[in-house]
């Protein structure tokens, strides 16, 4: 049987094409969008504002397209990692992070990644394909906590700006009045900083931007993030200086701290110099050791010294709480493995 096309992941424009294709009136597109993204329909049969005949026509080639997680792993700290089908036989992961009133979902945008950052398990696997907007929206709609989500971060597997169109479509669905009507302030796109795509996302959306920095020195950054050789952080910063990050949205920089690599006073001073003039925040992130890597986490005391020095130098810096380390869900640890946690693992 031929596979049907999922309706989730389609923007209003895409749904208009669908209804035209099925010979339905254009206004049906908004009705379908409402059913998909507001009422969370799981089948076309639930779209009862459409005539029986219209639903039948839709069902010939389309389906809602929700796919539940293949597996889940629960951390002692409440974090939940979900496994979803990705591209081919490569699965992807999403991480649900409850934190008081906040409930954040970290979504994946690609199966694997081309960027090959030395500290990242996803980068280790190489690139296996881009997720569609349907795959991205499915991660949001299919988890049990979907309706209680307050925030979304594109910080899961893959480089979101390397898969721009589906990421933009997902943002449109999340923020449009005909879609989920979220404020863009609830969404953050985290990137290594692909210049052309970064410009597009800054100019066409109002989401928050987070840039992976990790070292203020080009040669050291290049050894952690090979992308530096083709697209330097200086070029990324020069681009970002053209935009308003005071009123419109938040700009942050991610800085994973590695023992003896980027964690001393010299790096701190240089980082403050590099970011001078930006209204931004630096998120200091504890490194989580990964197999076959010499990189080591630095101590919390060292991270606190680094944070305090940055704050003294006029750069707002915070230490991001590490979540889900026991289920390999923390920063840099996502690998798309199909491991279902057993009750005994949770001791």
Task: Write down the least CB distance from residue 244 to ligand SF4, Å.
Answer: 26
Among 72, 159, 172, 228, binds ligand SF4 (CB under 6 A): 159
Query: Which residues are designated catalytic?
Result: 93, 331
Residue with the CB atom nearest ligand SF4 in the bound state = 123
290 to 319, contacts with ligand SF4 by CB under 6 A?
none
What number of other Cβ atoms are within 10 A of residue 180's Cβ? 21
Contact assessment for residue 3 and residue 62, using Cβ atoms and an 8 Å cutoff: no
Contact assessment for residue 90 and residue 128, using Cβ atoms and an 8 Å cutoff: yes
112 to 141, contacts with ligand SF4 by CB under 6 A?
113, 115-117, 120, 122-123
Task: Write down the least CB distance from residue 97 to ligand SF4, Å.
Answer: 17
Q: At what angle do helices 233-240 and 265-275 cross, to 10 degrees?
A: 40
In degrees and rounded to multiples of 5, residue 245 shows phi and psi of -110, 15
Task: Please enumerate, as own/partner, the contacts of 240-246 that have beta carbons within 8 Å and a separation of 24 or more.
Answer: 240/198, 240/202, 240/209, 240/211, 240/278, 241/277, 241/278, 243/202, 245/209, 245/278, 245/279, 245/280, 246/279
Contact assessment for residue 153 and residue 106, using Cβ atoms and an 8 Å cutoff: yes
Whose Cβ is closer to ligand SF4: residue 161's or residue 317's? Answer: 161
Whose Cβ is closer to ligand SF4: residue 79's or residue 122's? Answer: 122
Task: Write down the least CB distance from residue 279 to ligand SF4, Å.
Answer: 25
Whose Cβ is closer to ligand SF4: residue 19's or residue 121's? Answer: 121
- Among the candidate windows 27-35, 153-161, 259-267, 306-314, which touches ligand SF4 by CB under 6 A? 153-161
Q: Residues 76-115: x/- map of binding to ligand SF4 (CB under 6 A)?
A: -------------------------------------x-x
Q: Does 192 bind ligand SF4 (CB under 6 A)?
A: yes
Contacts of 242 (CB under 8 A, 6+ apart): none
Pairing of strands 90-99, 80-87: antiparallel
Residues at the contact surface with ligand SF4, assessed by CB under 6 A: 113, 115-117, 120, 122-123, 157-159, 192
């Amino acid at each position: 049987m031929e596979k049907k096309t999922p309706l989730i992941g389609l923007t209003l424009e895409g749904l208009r094409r669908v209804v035209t294709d099925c010979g339905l009136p254009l206004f049906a597109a908004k009705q379908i969008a409402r059913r998909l993204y507001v009422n969370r329909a799981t089948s076309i049969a639930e779209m009862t504002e459409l005539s029986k005949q219209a639903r039948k026509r839709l069902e010939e080639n389309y389906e809602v397209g929700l796919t539940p997680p293949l597996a889940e792993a629960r951390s002692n700290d409440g974090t939940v990692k979900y496994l979803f089908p990705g591209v081919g036989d490569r699965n992807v992961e999403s991480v649900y992070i409850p934190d008081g009133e906040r409930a954040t979902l970290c979504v994946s945008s690609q199966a694997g990644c081309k960027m090959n950052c030395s500290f990242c398990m996803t980068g280790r696997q190489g690139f296996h394909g881009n997720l569609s907007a349907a795959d991205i929206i499915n991660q949001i709609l299919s988890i049990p906590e979907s309706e209680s989500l307050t925030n979304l971060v594109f910080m899961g597997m893959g480089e979101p700006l390397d898969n721009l169109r589906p990421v933009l479509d997902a943002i449109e669905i999340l923020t449009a009045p005909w879609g989920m009507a979220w404020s863009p302030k609830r969404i953050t796109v985290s990137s290594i900083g692909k210049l052309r795509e970064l410009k597009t996302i800054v100019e066409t959306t109002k989401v928050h931007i987070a840039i992976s920095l990790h070292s203020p020195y080009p040669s050291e950054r290049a050894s952690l993030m090979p992308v530096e050789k083709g697209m330097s952080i200086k070029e990324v910063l020069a681009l970002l200086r053209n935009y308003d990050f005071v009123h419109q949205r938040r700009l942050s920089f991610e800085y994973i701290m590695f023992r003896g690599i980027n964690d001393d006073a010299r790096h701190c001073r240089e980082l403050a110099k590099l970011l001078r003039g930006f209204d931004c925040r630096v998120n200091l992130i504890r490194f989580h050791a990964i197999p076959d890597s010499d990189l080591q986490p630095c101590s919390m005391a060292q991270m606190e010294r680094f944070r305090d020095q940055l704050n003294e130098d006029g750069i707002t810096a915070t230490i991001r709480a590490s979540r889900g380390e026991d289920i390999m869900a923390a920063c840099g640890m996502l690998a798309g493995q199909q491991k279902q946690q057993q009750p005994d693992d949770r001791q």
